[in-house]
Amino acid sequence: MSRALFYGFIVFYTSAIIYLASTIPIGPHEANVYYSDRDLLYSLTHMCEGHFNNFLTFRIPFVFFGLLNIPLFFTMSQLYFEKTEESYLATSLYLLLPGIITSTILVNISVLVITLVLFFIIFYEKKIIWGQALSMLVLLFIHDASIIFFMALAIFFAIKKENKLFLISIIFLATSLVFFNGLVIGGRPEGEFLQLFGLYMALFSPLVFLYFFYSLYRIWLREEKDILWYISSIAFVFSILLSLRQQVDMTDFAPYVIVSVVLMLVTSRKSVYVRLPQFQSSYRLGFNLLFGSLLISAGIIIFHQFFFTILDDKSKHFAYPFYEPYWQVLELREIGQNCYTVSNKKVQYQLKYYGIESCEDKTVPKIHK
């Protein structure tokens, strides 16, 4: 990918991200965080309150970190490629992942975790120990499932015999396990394995996830395994094992898995360059199909509002839970009703954001949905 094409893509991508974050109505999870949580996400959603006249009011910190991850991922990718053009391509591939787009425009902890993981990888490769320790310390406090990250680091540093970093990671692992561990393991086996794979396919897009899975497996069999592979593969395998007995929260694992998408391009390039030119065409075609599927997935998200106009049943649209309460509020205002009650608390919070309170303490009839 050329420099001009890459920077043109970044301008379009940034504009699309800001547009989506500004126009998509508040979602159920976002409304719940905005009104009921009292943790870091709550503070971030209220940080810029009153500074914007649209939905950026509560999303701007997440957009900021999502856009910050662009130069961070590009810097990290340069550790894997000699040619800058390949870093451009790797960064573009990363940005087009559905999970990255949604984590940038919606309220969630994943985008902050990705920022810290990228900082950590860069600090590690540059041998800046204080930067690694600082990244781990912040991650300890902001992510309940950071124990996965510290576990991967402890295993990697033990294998590589990096004693000082192994000791640091063990300290953080023990601290997370005793004081901060929010990773719940328990209950009866429910067999959520297939559901988890479906979530990963939504996170990466189906073709990309299959190739990503193949890349992790290929590296395990044939290639040198670096710190990024250990972080990603341990988080991925742990999520699979956990899904055999309970439902898995993707925000616990996805940030550690998705950052290593750069390894997929490394594997692809090795598969191409070890072959004679006349045998490279099929591999290049496969990669182009994969990249094309990402463009389609990203296009569906960016232009998702158009699909409401062609669907007879709008409830089948993946963004319907965001828009339905908003449309409901418009209808209520047309008839002059200033309250509405639903049984779903998160939906009630969505209505509250638009100024529609519950009717429980008012004379307007209560309506359950």
Checking if the pLDDT of 213 tops 90, the result is: no
Q: What is residue 366's predicted lDDT score, i.e. its pLDDT?
A: 43
| Same domain for 335 and 292 | no
Higher pLDDT, 2 or 30: 30
Total domains, the chain: 2
Calpha distance 6→236 (Å, rounded): 30
Q: Which of 281, 302, 323 is the last residue of a domain?
A: 302
| Same domain for 189 and 332 | no
- When pLDDT is averaged across residues 16-35 and rounded to a whole number, the result is 92
Q: What is residue 369's predicted lDDT score, i.e. its pLDDT?
A: 39
Q: Which of 258, 273, 302 is the last residue of a domain?
A: 302
Q: What is residue 186's predicted lDDT score, i.e. its pLDDT?
A: 57
Say which DSSP state 107 is in.
-
Q: What is residue 248's predicted lDDT score, i.e. its pLDDT?
A: 75
- 145-176: pLDDT as tens digits: 888 999 999 999 999 998 899 999 999 998 88
Pick from 334, 332, 58: nearest CA to 342:
332
Q: What is residue 272's predicted lDDT score, i.e. its pLDDT?
A: 59
Checking if the pLDDT of 363 tops 60, the result is: no
- Among the residue ranges 17-31, 278-292, 324-338, the one predicted with the least confidence is 278-292
Checking if the pLDDT of 179 tops 90, the result is: no
Q: Which of 256, 281, 302 is the last residue of a domain?
A: 302
**What residue numbers bound the domain in which 238 lies?**
3-302
- When pLDDT is averaged across residues 77-105 and rounded to a whole number, the result is 91
Checking if the pLDDT of 275 tops 70, the result is: no
Checking if the pLDDT of 97 tops 80, the result is: yes
CA atoms within 13 A on the CB side of 260: 26
| Same domain for 264 and 160 | yes
| Same domain for 281 and 331 | no
Pick from 141, 137, 136: nearest CA to 120:
136
| Same domain for 277 and 331 | no
Higher pLDDT, 185 or 358: 358
- When pLDDT is averaged across residues 238-255 and rounded to a whole number, the result is 81
| Same domain for 87 and 46 | yes
| Same domain for 96 and 114 | yes
| Segment 185-188 long-range contacts (CB within 8 Å, at least 24 positions apart) | 185/242, 185/245, 185/246, 186/246, 187/245, 187/246, 188/245
Q: What is residue 342's predicted lDDT score, i.e. its pLDDT?
A: 84
Checking if the pLDDT of 21 tops 90, the result is: yes
Q: What is residue 273's predicted lDDT score, i.e. its pLDDT?
A: 57
| Same domain for 18 and 39 | yes
Is the separation of the CB atoms in 236 and 165 below 8 Å?
A: no
Q: What is residue 155's predicted lDDT score, i.e. its pLDDT?
A: 93
Calpha distance 112→119 (Å, rounded): 11
Higher pLDDT, 223 or 263: 263
| Same domain for 148 and 78 | yes
Is the separation of the CB atoms in 120 and 224 below 8 Å?
A: no
- 40-83: pLDDT as tens digits: 888 899 888 777 788 898 999 999 999 999 999 999 999 888 88
| Same domain for 165 and 109 | yes
- Among the residue ranges 118-127, 131-140, 295-304, 337-346, the one predicted with the least confidence is 337-346
Pick from 253, 344, 317, 333: nearest CA to 28:
344
pLDDT grade, residue 105 (50/70/90)? very high
Q: What is residue 167's predicted lDDT score, i.e. its pLDDT?
A: 92
Q: What is residue 365's predicted lDDT score, i.e. its pLDDT?
A: 46
pLDDT grade, residue 283 (50/70/90)? low
| Same domain for 369 and 324 | yes
Checking if the pLDDT of 314 tops 90, the result is: no
pLDDT grade, residue 233 (50/70/90)? very high
pLDDT grade, residue 335 (50/70/90)? confident
Checking if the pLDDT of 200 tops 60, the result is: yes
- When pLDDT is averaged across residues 235-244 and rounded to a whole number, the result is 85
Pick from 310, 342, 301, 75: nearest CA to 203:
301
Mean pLDDT, all residues of the chain? 85
Is the separation of the CB atoms in 144 and 122 below 8 Å?
A: no
Calculate the CA dihedral of residues 31, 36, 38, 44 and round it to 10 degrees.
10
- 26-45: pLDDT as tens digits: 999 999 999 987 788 888 99
| Same domain for 315 and 268 | no
Is the separation of the CB atoms in 140 and 180 below 8 Å?
A: yes
Calpha distance 165→348 (Å, rounded): 48
Q: What is residue 367's predicted lDDT score, i.e. its pLDDT?
A: 42
Calpha distance 17→353 (Å, rounded): 22
